[in-house]
Structure 1
Amino acid sequence: MKFLVSLLTAAALSMPAHADDVSFGPNQLCGLQAARPDANPALRVKTVQGRNGPIGYARFGRGTPLLLITGYRATLGEWNAYFLGELAKHHDVIVFDNRGIGRTAAIEGRFGPDYGISDMAADAADVIAGLKLSRVDVLGWSMGGMIAQQLALDAPEKVESLTLIATAPPGPQAVPTSPDVLAVLSGSGKDAFPQIMRVLFPANVAGEASQCFVGDMFAPHGYKGRPVPDAVAAQQNAAMTRWFADSAAADALRRSPVRTLIVAGANDEVLADANARRLEQIIPRATLDVVADAGHALMFQYPVELARHVDAFVSK
């Protein structure tokens, strides 16, 4: 009996904390010698007509269509250019600005108190329709992951697969972003940038990330997406608050037919990986990977490895 107990104890100590823990190896911050789509001077941000006006988007690559939805206060330029370049090797990549940001118009009178995640999901559906695509693989990061979930609920016939990165489920069992972290992400001024880096990245890489974060952002020729209006940021914050109270959406996700990959950072200070584990419990066809030594901005920490991980899932 003592031998059996010792054997079981040793086996338990040798196992990872969770079966879904993964490692992407060394950080890929700074100094990458890889393709980036914005190196092509012919690439431009264009617009497609949505129900609320023009929506700014960029499209590049070859292969199956992959629609990327970005997060809180983020423009299409907040994607890591090397992450996009790796995805573009096998996919027709489409990135776009959420409403009221960058090249996507904020139509006066259309952004009142009812503005929410479902409205932004409708904008994403308009991009798909406007580009005359029938079905697409969808990837959402942070708040974009919430929009992607709603899109899969509202238009499952348009969504081939769903990849949810560093995001949270709907409903009161989610763990929202803390007020302190949200204040950092909403900050401005000379001290804001280093503070933002400290909440987007683990402490051991935040300094390195601050040196190359801006340079590694997707920057199509002639595109300027900043600054994000404070009113739009406030509306996005209100939309996420309502998302965290949306029990009906959580119930609907339990019946979702869409094949889903959930990726979370083990050191995410913005949306804790407990959200990803909750998502795995809710979505029937979900696979979860929690990445060791990763924060909220995984696509900047591991642009090439994360893109290959996504491609392996999407291409199944």
Structure 2
Amino acid sequence: MPMKPMPLASVVSSCVLAAALAALAVFTPSARADDVSLGQNQLCGLNTARPDRNPAVQVKTVQGRNGPIGYARFGRGAPLLLITGYRATLGEWNAYFLGELAKHHEVIIFDNRGVGRSAIVDGRFGPDYGMREMAEDAADVIAGLRLGRVDVAGWSMGGMIAQQLALDAREKVASLTLIATAPPGPDAVPLTPQVQHVLASSGRDAFAQIMAVLFPANVVADASKCFVGDMFAPRDYTGRPVSDAVAAQQNQAMTRWFADSAAAAALRSSPVRTLIIAGANDDVLADSNARQLERIIPRATLDIVSDAGHALMYQYPIELARHIGAFVSR
């Protein structure tokens, strides 16, 4: 659940060396069956492809039932739809993570309603919406781009939207990857009020505070130097600041999600093959949520990543993308 981009004083280029790429760790199991390691943190501007460096990659809009939806698509292969999280634009995906996925998939990313290019037009989004309505927007992207059946990955609040999409439009979802997210219903562990306050904050001190909840303490300093520079930044796209009204609506949608016993019951009979990935050091949505998801979803595989926080795709962009790609391609 990142924040709007802001300039950083400097980027330490030495934080990632060519040797780090040569020594990328294999996704290996740890002590528990569902505990894995992604090896060394891969922070700061990797020496590999990022799609936003291609001038042909542009943010366009597709018409949804509630207005235009901003999206970008790139890569080649089976379509993979990514759904982002709280207060995040499509520009807040890690560009190297996207580039690795795009080697074997057509990647589609989009702005949730009221965010970025998915601007509210003439009040058509309505004053009140939740996960179901945001899942409808995702379904509209699939339909509008004539993607057919797609693999879907959702991060944080985007993982909640992805779960709802798999319930409401299961014929469109070939597989589900849930990253650092939570199940519906009262058995989930929601964000604490303190974390919610940090993620909704703005101003001079907001960036440091947000980094501190997105990353484990041992990598916060390096992550802070590299986060903005590693964001997906296509030409002619600037993520507009998320309005207080949209942020409040997303908060309300999550509050309802954590009370949605009907969705939790429906997930127990979900036929969708699902990969659940969580950070062992996630201060936003505890990894107990991932374990609960594994208990609920019949065809679920769980990976708890050691030395990982909420923003896993920024800590391990290459290996995380490869692991997701391997799951999707099975």
Offset at residue 111 of structure 1 (A): 4.3
Q: Which amino acid in 2 is paired with 1:302?
A: Y
RMSD over aligned Cα atoms? 1.1
Q: Which amino acid in 2 is paired with 1:43?
A: V
Residue in structure 2 matching 1:249, options 242, 249, 263: 263
| Aligned position for 2:242 | 228
Checking the alignment, whether the CA contact within 8 Å between 2:68 and 2:118 is kept in structure 1 is yes
Structure 1 counterpart SS, 2:277? strand
Q: Which amino acid in 2 is paired with 1:299?
A: M
Question: Does residue 1:122 correspond to 2:170, yes or no?
Answer: no
In structure 2, distance between residues paired with 1:42 and 1:130: 20
In structure 2, distance between residues paired with 1:145 and 1:201: 18
Structure 1 counterpart SS, 2:135? helix
Gaps of 5+ in 2: 1-28
Residue in structure 2 matching 1:105, options 106, 119, 122: 119
In structure 2, distance between residues paired with 1:111 and 1:145: 21
Q: Which amino acid in 1 is paired with 2:199?
A: L
Q: Which moved more, 1:111-120 or 1:153-162?
A: 111-120
Gaps of 5+ in 1: 1-14
The structure with the larger Rg is 1
Q: Which moved more, 1:225-234 or 1:60-69?
A: 225-234
Question: Does residue 1:90 correspond to 2:104, yes or no?
Answer: yes
Cα distance change of structure 1 residues 109 and 226 upon mapping to structure 2, 3 Å threshold: closer
Structure 2 counterpart SS, 1:311? helix
List 4+ stretches of structure 1 deviating above 2 A. 15-18, 107-114
Offset at residue 112 of structure 1 (A): 4.5
How high is the TM-score relative to the length of structure 1? Answer: 0.94
Offset at residue 43 of structure 1 (A): 1.3
Offset at residue 134 of structure 1 (A): 1.1
Checking the alignment, whether the CA contact within 8 Å between 2:214 and 2:309 is kept in structure 1 is yes
| Aligned position for 1:65 | 79
In structure 2, distance between residues paired with 1:112 and 1:158: 25
In structure 1, distance between residues paired with 2:231 and 2:67: 26
In structure 2, distance between residues paired with 1:299 and 1:95: 14
Checking the alignment, whether the CA contact within 8 Å between 2:67 and 2:124 is kept in structure 1 is no
How high is the TM-score relative to the length of structure 2? Answer: 0.90
| Aligned position for 1:4 | none
| Aligned position for 1:287 | 301
Q: CA deviation digits over 1:153-183, x for unaligned, max 9?
A: 0000000000000000000000000000110
Q: CA deviation digits over 1:211-238, x for unaligned, max 9?
A: 0100000001010113111100000000
Q: CA deviation digits over 1:66-119, x for unaligned, max 9?
A: 000000000000100000000000000000000000000213444445410000
Structure 2 counterpart SS, 1:197? helix
